[in-house]
Amino acid sequence: MTLAGSSPSRNVDVQLTLTDIGATLQGTVHYSVLGTDGQVVKDGRILFASRDSTVYPSRFEGQWVGFVTRTQCSGDCSEGNDPVLQSGGVRVVFSQSGGVISGRMMNGIELTGTANGNTLHLSSRIALDPPVCQRPWDGGMTCQLELSVSGSADTLDRLHGSVTYRAAGFNHNGRPYALNATGTLDGLARWP
Amino acid sequence: MRRTTRQSGLWRTIRVMAFLVAYTMPLACGSSSPTAPNPPSAPPSTTTPSLPATFTGVWRANAKAVTCTLRIPAPCEPERSLTFVLRVTAGGPGYLGTFEIEEGLSLPVVISVIGESQPDGSVLFMGAHGVSRDVMVAVQRLLVKLDGAAGLSGDMELRQLVTGTERRTTGTVLSASYQPMLPQSGTNLSGTWSGVSVIRACSGYCPAYRTVGQQVRVSLTIGQSGTALNGQMQLSIFSCSGCWVPFSGSMSDDRLTLSGPMISRDSPSGDRTLHLESLEGSLDYISRLVGSFVYAADSRIAISPFNVSYRLECEILWLKRD
């Protein structure tokens, strides 16, 4: 069996050739990535594979990993000012019990919200006023943040949706900034 | 790529984690070619897994810190999220297990805990672990019960003592996912393992970060075919920035024995030869790898005498399956 796919937005092409599918997998993988240093092509053999036996008590419980594309930004949008989508990569841990859901992004932003079936909506708010909000002597500080995340999970456990946020504070150089931005969740995968 | 085709019911519920060895992947410290595991004998299971009726297994839990106190005036963030792993097996007064947490510590901490069933069906876990002479982490109280909607729910109190500063954190266990515990006897070790070892002896060039008592983070990738093992190892003390050292060996009577060839690395500085002389280990009661290894290297440093050698004997405190 051969499976092939590509992600134009990430410049990745993948081909998976499976020679045996059972309790484990055997086969090979071929992929190419177009990066800043040019195209890298790799071929590999599956060393081991195990079925993910994780039992999730709810639809969104667990860790989700993937990319968010910032599709719009106004204000001080230069690199280093964005406290939410610093690298484009996102890792978020959700905790869900019934319709109540909370989460934490790996950059420390805490989220709370609701989940209903395959959809979720979370938000986060930071409101720091002077004197707590002041130019730090080392690094940056987010003083104002209003963030909203909406998404839905598909049958392959991929999370699609959007993120909207308004942020203000001091960047890592101590300069004040303010921005408004939106982005799309590019199919975050549940990561055991 | 956006897949729009409908997936079969079977494959909707099956997810597979695979580890790949790239033919062209330039291993920074030589190359290895672990063998693939035996062909599968069992067909894919079509049953949908469900939460267990007992605590035995591996729980990846989310918690919310509610209060925290410090003996000295310093910022102490309440209302923050915590994650931990609780591995539980039957034994002792009811349950034995480990509590793993990385929050606020340079190395992950694994605390052996004992659990006792309570009249209401919950289990109270407690345990303490001394990371070093100045660092101690304790589970003062972890009271959890099985929860059909959340996996686990309950409350907890942690105590951290770091160089004289004590921090107490209370929190609420919000939810947890579950994985069954892998069988211990005759298990297949294929997979990735990570954990901590401690230097028990050093000879040759032994600067402060390489002296007896220092902790070393260890990562192993193991492929298994029958009783034959091979794979690669990574140590945090390598001065070659994330490189891996190949090994091969065998599994016999639940003990694994590994060793690797000396490999050379063309580099103007850092470790220039790397050699896993030996590694011996076994699985403990909670399916962690414990044992010891000997590692030796020739290294190039920036000060006289420039070319140095060292040899480390390390005890593996624990390696957990990732």
Count the Cβ atoms, other than its own, within 10 Å of residue A112: 14
CA A166 to chain centre: 18
Q: How far apart are CA A111 and CA B252, in angstroms?
A: 49
- Full 3-state SS string of B18-87: EEEEECCCCCCCCCCCCCCCCCCCCCCCCCCCCCCCCCCEEEEEEEEEEEEEECCCCCCCCCCEEEEEEE
Give, rounded to a whole angstrom, the gap between the first and last alpha carbons of chain A: 25
Choose, out of B10, B20, B47, B221, the residue to mutate when testing the contact with A (most A CBs < 10 Å).
B20
- Listed in sequence order, the residues at least 6 apart from A125 whose beta carbon sits closer than 8 Å to its beta carbon are A145, A146, A147
Which band of pLDDT confidence, cut at 50, 70 and 90, is reported for residue B146?
A: very high
Our CA angle for B97, B105, B127, nearest 5°, is 25
Tell whether the model's pLDDT for residue B37 goes beyond 50: no
ipTM of the complex: 0.84
Which band of pLDDT confidence, cut at 50, 70 and 90, is reported for residue B186?
A: low
User: Which residues of B are less than 8 Å from A98 in CB distance?
Assistant: 149-150
In this predicted structure, which of A80-94, B81-95, B166-180 has the lowest mean pLDDT? A80-94
Tell whether the model's pLDDT for residue B32 goes beyond 70: no
Four-point Cα dihedral B304, B306, B312, B316, nearest 10: 110
Q: Give the gap in angstroms from C-alpha A181 to the nearest C-alpha of chain B.
A: 24
The answer to whether B202 and B214 are in contact (CB under 8 A) is no
Tell me which of B202 and A45 has the higher pLDDT: B202
The answer to whether B97 and B294 are in contact (CB under 8 A) is no
In this prediction, residue B16 carries a pLDDT of 53
Residue with tokens 């109280």: B141
CA B318 to chain centre: 7
Q: Give the gap in angstroms from C-alpha B217 to the nearest C-alpha of chain A.
A: 22
- Listed in sequence order, the residues at least 6 apart from A54 whose beta carbon sits closer than 8 Å to its beta carbon are A62, A192, B49, B60, B177, B178, B179
In this predicted structure, which of A25-34, A65-74, B158-167, B217-226 has the lowest mean pLDDT? B158-167
Tokens of B5: 């085709």
Q: How far apart are CA A56 and CA B179, in angstroms?
A: 9
Tell whether the model's pLDDT for residue B293 goes beyond 90: yes
List, for residues A107-162, the tens digit of each pLDDT value. 788 999 999 999 999 999 999 888 888 888 777 889 999 999 999 999 999 999 99
Q: Do A47 and B180 touch (CB under 8 A)?
A: no
3-state SS class at B10: helix
* Nearest residue in chain A measured CA to CA from B80: A110
List, for residues A88-109, the tens digit of each pLDDT value. 788 999 999 999 999 998 778 8
* Nearest residue in chain A measured CA to CA from B229: A47
Which band of pLDDT confidence, cut at 50, 70 and 90, is reported for residue B290?
A: very high
In this prediction, residue B285 carries a pLDDT of 76
Tell whether the model's pLDDT for residue B3 goes beyond 60: no
In this prediction, residue B234 carries a pLDDT of 92
Q: How far apart are CA B135 and CA B167, in angstroms?
A: 11
Distances (CA, A) of B185 to B91, B166, B168, B251, B252: 17, 40, 39, 11, 11
Our CA angle for A170, A82, B242, nearest 5°, is 105
- Listed in sequence order, the residues at least 6 apart from B299 whose beta carbon sits closer than 8 Å to its beta carbon are B205, B239, B270, B271, B272, B307, B308, B309, B310
In this prediction, residue B11 carries a pLDDT of 33
In this prediction, residue A94 carries a pLDDT of 96
Residue with tokens 């092509």: A41
pLDDT over 90 percentage in chain B:
36
- Using the Cβ of A37 and the Cβ atoms of chain B, whether some distance falls under 8 Å is answered with no
